[in-house]
Structure 1
Amino acid sequence: MPLDETSYAERKLHPDAYFVTLPVPYDLARRKLFSAISQRYPLDNGSRFSVDAHNFWLTESEVRQLDDFERGKIAKIEWSTRATPSFAPK
Protein backbone atom coordinates (compact mmCIF):
# COMPACT_ATOMS: atom_id res chain seq x y z
CA MET A 1 0.00 0.00 0.00
CA PRO A 2 1.52 3.40 -0.98
CA LEU A 3 2.45 5.65 1.91
CA ASP A 4 -0.01 8.35 0.83
CA GLU A 5 -2.87 5.94 1.60
CA THR A 6 -1.81 5.15 5.14
CA SER A 7 0.08 6.89 7.92
CA TYR A 8 3.52 6.04 9.23
CA ALA A 9 1.92 5.29 12.61
CA GLU A 10 -0.46 2.78 11.01
CA ARG A 11 2.49 1.04 9.39
CA LYS A 12 4.52 1.21 12.63
CA LEU A 13 7.35 3.06 10.92
CA HIS A 14 9.82 5.40 12.54
CA PRO A 15 8.43 8.96 12.38
CA ASP A 16 11.58 10.13 10.54
CA ALA A 17 11.17 7.53 7.77
CA TYR A 18 11.08 8.95 4.26
CA PHE A 19 10.99 5.90 2.04
CA VAL A 20 10.01 2.29 2.42
CA THR A 21 11.11 -0.64 0.29
CA LEU A 22 8.88 -3.40 -0.87
CA PRO A 23 9.11 -6.36 1.54
CA VAL A 24 12.68 -7.66 1.76
CA PRO A 25 13.62 -11.21 2.79
CA TYR A 26 14.72 -11.40 6.42
CA ASP A 27 18.08 -12.96 5.52
CA LEU A 28 19.13 -10.02 3.32
CA ALA A 29 18.10 -7.50 5.97
CA ARG A 30 19.71 -9.44 8.82
CA ARG A 31 22.99 -9.68 6.94
CA LYS A 32 22.75 -5.97 6.00
CA LEU A 33 23.20 -6.69 2.30
CA PHE A 34 22.04 -3.20 1.36
CA SER A 35 23.49 -3.21 -2.13
CA ALA A 36 21.68 -6.47 -2.95
CA ILE A 37 18.48 -5.06 -1.46
CA SER A 38 18.73 -1.89 -3.59
CA GLN A 39 19.31 -3.93 -6.75
CA ARG A 40 16.37 -6.31 -6.20
CA TYR A 41 13.71 -4.39 -4.26
CA PRO A 42 12.40 -0.97 -5.30
CA LEU A 43 10.81 1.54 -2.99
CA ASP A 44 7.11 1.10 -2.37
CA ASN A 45 6.39 3.97 -4.79
CA GLY A 46 8.18 2.02 -7.57
CA SER A 47 11.32 4.19 -7.58
CA ARG A 48 14.77 2.66 -7.49
CA PHE A 49 17.51 3.63 -5.05
CA SER A 50 21.23 3.04 -4.67
CA VAL A 51 23.44 2.42 -1.67
CA ASP A 52 26.92 3.93 -1.66
CA ALA A 53 30.10 2.53 -0.09
CA HIS A 54 29.18 4.10 3.28
CA ASN A 55 25.62 2.69 3.22
CA PHE A 56 23.95 5.99 2.34
CA TRP A 57 20.68 5.25 0.58
CA LEU A 58 20.20 7.59 -2.38
CA THR A 59 17.22 7.97 -4.69
CA GLU A 60 17.64 7.84 -8.47
CA SER A 61 17.08 11.59 -8.55
CA GLU A 62 19.77 12.22 -5.94
CA VAL A 63 22.29 10.06 -7.84
CA ARG A 64 21.57 11.97 -11.08
CA GLN A 65 21.91 15.28 -9.25
CA LEU A 66 25.20 14.21 -7.65
CA ASP A 67 26.56 13.39 -11.11
CA ASP A 68 25.34 16.74 -12.49
CA PHE A 69 26.79 18.58 -9.47
CA GLU A 70 30.19 16.92 -9.96
CA ARG A 71 30.13 17.95 -13.65
CA GLY A 72 29.23 21.54 -12.74
CA LYS A 73 25.82 21.34 -14.42
CA ILE A 74 23.93 22.29 -11.24
CA ALA A 75 24.91 24.32 -8.18
CA LYS A 76 22.70 22.64 -5.60
CA ILE A 77 21.32 19.17 -4.93
CA GLU A 78 17.69 18.84 -3.87
CA TRP A 79 17.85 16.12 -1.22
CA SER A 80 14.82 13.98 -0.56
CA THR A 81 15.36 14.17 3.20
CA ARG A 82 15.32 17.10 5.61
CA ALA A 83 19.03 16.91 6.36
CA THR A 84 21.83 16.91 3.82
CA PRO A 85 23.85 13.69 4.02
CA SER A 86 27.29 14.05 5.56
CA PHE A 87 29.63 12.41 3.06
CA ALA A 88 33.24 11.56 3.83
CA PRO A 89 35.69 14.13 2.45
CA LYS A 90 37.45 13.31 -0.81
Structure 2
Amino acid sequence: MKMWRRSDIDENQRYRLALIQHESRAREFVLQNESMELVSAKNILYTEIVPNELLIKGNLEAISKSVFLINGGRFYVDPHNIWITEIEMEAWLNDDEPEIMPWLNGLAPRFAEK
Protein backbone atom coordinates (compact mmCIF):
# COMPACT_ATOMS: atom_id res chain seq x y z
CA MET A 1 0.00 0.00 0.00
CA LYS A 2 1.44 3.34 -1.04
CA MET A 3 1.24 6.08 1.59
CA TRP A 4 1.31 9.76 0.93
CA ARG A 5 4.58 11.55 1.52
CA ARG A 6 5.19 14.42 3.87
CA SER A 7 5.86 16.60 0.82
CA ASP A 8 2.29 15.89 -0.41
CA ILE A 9 0.88 17.95 2.48
CA ASP A 10 0.47 21.66 1.77
CA GLU A 11 0.10 23.50 5.09
CA ASN A 12 -2.37 25.89 3.41
CA GLN A 13 -4.71 23.06 2.41
CA ARG A 14 -6.99 20.72 4.33
CA TYR A 15 -7.35 17.03 3.61
CA ARG A 16 -9.47 14.00 4.33
CA LEU A 17 -8.76 10.35 3.70
CA ALA A 18 -10.72 8.14 1.35
CA LEU A 19 -10.87 4.56 2.64
CA ILE A 20 -11.15 2.43 -0.46
CA GLN A 21 -11.90 -1.27 -0.75
CA HIS A 22 -10.94 -2.89 -4.06
CA GLU A 23 -12.56 -5.96 -5.61
CA SER A 24 -9.30 -7.77 -4.82
CA ARG A 25 -10.22 -7.21 -1.12
CA ALA A 26 -7.21 -4.88 -0.71
CA ARG A 27 -8.01 -1.81 1.34
CA GLU A 28 -6.12 1.44 1.09
CA PHE A 29 -6.07 5.03 2.31
CA VAL A 30 -5.96 7.80 -0.29
CA LEU A 31 -5.17 11.40 0.59
CA GLN A 32 -7.81 13.76 -0.76
CA ASN A 33 -7.86 17.56 -0.79
CA GLU A 34 -11.05 18.81 0.87
CA SER A 35 -12.06 20.62 -2.34
CA MET A 36 -12.23 17.34 -4.28
CA GLU A 37 -15.71 16.01 -4.95
CA LEU A 38 -16.76 13.06 -2.80
CA VAL A 39 -17.69 10.10 -4.98
CA SER A 40 -20.70 8.17 -3.76
CA ALA A 41 -19.75 4.51 -3.99
CA LYS A 42 -20.31 1.41 -1.87
CA ASN A 43 -16.56 0.73 -1.69
CA ILE A 44 -15.41 4.19 -0.51
CA LEU A 45 -15.70 5.76 2.92
CA TYR A 46 -14.43 9.25 3.78
CA THR A 47 -13.04 10.75 6.95
CA GLU A 48 -13.77 14.18 8.26
CA ILE A 49 -10.90 16.64 7.79
CA VAL A 50 -7.68 15.21 9.23
CA PRO A 51 -5.29 17.59 11.04
CA ASN A 52 -2.22 18.14 8.87
CA GLU A 53 0.06 17.31 11.82
CA LEU A 54 -1.35 13.77 11.88
CA LEU A 55 -1.02 13.43 8.11
CA ILE A 56 2.61 14.57 8.22
CA LYS A 57 3.35 11.91 10.85
CA GLY A 58 1.53 9.30 8.76
CA ASN A 59 0.26 7.62 11.92
CA LEU A 60 -2.92 5.91 10.74
CA GLU A 61 -3.71 4.52 14.17
CA ALA A 62 -3.62 8.03 15.69
CA ILE A 63 -5.82 9.29 12.86
CA SER A 64 -8.34 6.49 13.43
CA LYS A 65 -8.52 7.34 17.13
CA SER A 66 -9.15 11.05 16.60
CA VAL A 67 -11.02 11.44 13.29
CA PHE A 68 -14.52 10.21 12.48
CA LEU A 69 -15.87 9.09 9.14
CA ILE A 70 -18.23 11.59 7.53
CA ASN A 71 -21.11 9.17 8.22
CA GLY A 72 -20.36 9.56 11.94
CA GLY A 73 -18.81 6.11 12.30
CA ARG A 74 -15.35 5.14 13.42
CA PHE A 75 -12.70 3.05 11.80
CA TYR A 76 -9.80 1.06 13.17
CA VAL A 77 -6.40 0.16 11.77
CA ASP A 78 -4.66 -3.17 12.26
CA PRO A 79 -0.87 -3.44 12.75
CA HIS A 80 -0.43 -3.68 8.96
CA ASN A 81 -2.45 -0.47 8.35
CA ILE A 82 -5.54 -2.25 7.04
CA TRP A 83 -8.66 -0.31 7.93
CA ILE A 84 -11.70 -1.96 9.49
CA THR A 85 -15.08 -0.29 9.99
CA GLU A 86 -16.63 0.05 13.42
CA ILE A 87 -19.38 -2.41 12.49
CA GLU A 88 -16.82 -4.95 11.28
CA MET A 89 -14.72 -4.54 14.43
CA GLU A 90 -17.70 -4.98 16.75
CA ALA A 91 -18.76 -8.15 14.95
CA TRP A 92 -15.18 -9.45 14.96
CA LEU A 93 -14.83 -8.89 18.70
CA ASN A 94 -18.19 -10.57 19.38
CA ASP A 95 -17.34 -13.35 16.85
CA ASP A 96 -20.39 -15.50 17.63
CA GLU A 97 -20.75 -16.61 14.01
CA PRO A 98 -17.57 -15.76 12.04
CA GLU A 99 -19.09 -16.93 8.75
CA ILE A 100 -21.72 -14.17 9.03
CA MET A 101 -19.36 -11.20 9.34
CA PRO A 102 -20.77 -7.87 8.10
CA TRP A 103 -17.79 -7.09 5.85
CA LEU A 104 -18.14 -4.00 3.68
CA ASN A 105 -19.72 -5.15 0.40
CA GLY A 106 -19.50 -8.74 1.68
CA LEU A 107 -15.73 -8.83 1.10
CA ALA A 108 -13.36 -9.60 3.94
CA PRO A 109 -10.20 -7.46 3.87
CA ARG A 110 -7.05 -9.08 2.56
CA PHE A 111 -5.21 -9.35 5.85
CA ALA A 112 -1.46 -9.92 6.07
CA GLU A 113 -0.30 -13.54 6.16
CA LYS A 114 0.55 -14.94 9.58
Query: Do both share a fold (TM > 0.5)?
Result: yes
SS at match of 1:84: coil
For the pair 1:60 / 2:86, whether they are aligned, the reply is yes
Question: Number of residues paired by the alignment?
Answer: 78
RMSD over aligned CA atoms reads 2.5
Percent identity (aligned): 32
Bigger relative contact order (CA 8 A; separation at least 6): 2
TM-score (norm. length: structure 2): 0.56
Deviations, residues 18-67 of structure 1 (Å, cap 9, x unaligned): 11111002231132111111111100111111111111111111001112
Cα distance between partner residues in 2 of 1:44 and 1:56 = 19
Q: Which runs of 5+ in 1 are unaligned?
A: 1-9
Structure 1 residues 32 and 63: CA distance shift in structure 2, 3 A: same
User: Runs (4+) of structure 1 moved beyond 6 Å?
Assistant: none
In 2, are the aligned partners of 1:24 and 1:37 still within 8 Å (CA)?
Answer: yes
Q: Which runs of 5+ in 2 are unaligned?
A: 1-35
TM-score (norm. length: structure 1): 0.69
In the TM superposition, 1:18-37 aligns within 5 A as 18-37=44-63
In the TM superposition, 1:1-90 aligns within 5 A as 11=37, 18-69=44-95, 73-74=96-97, 75-81=99-105, 83-90=107-114
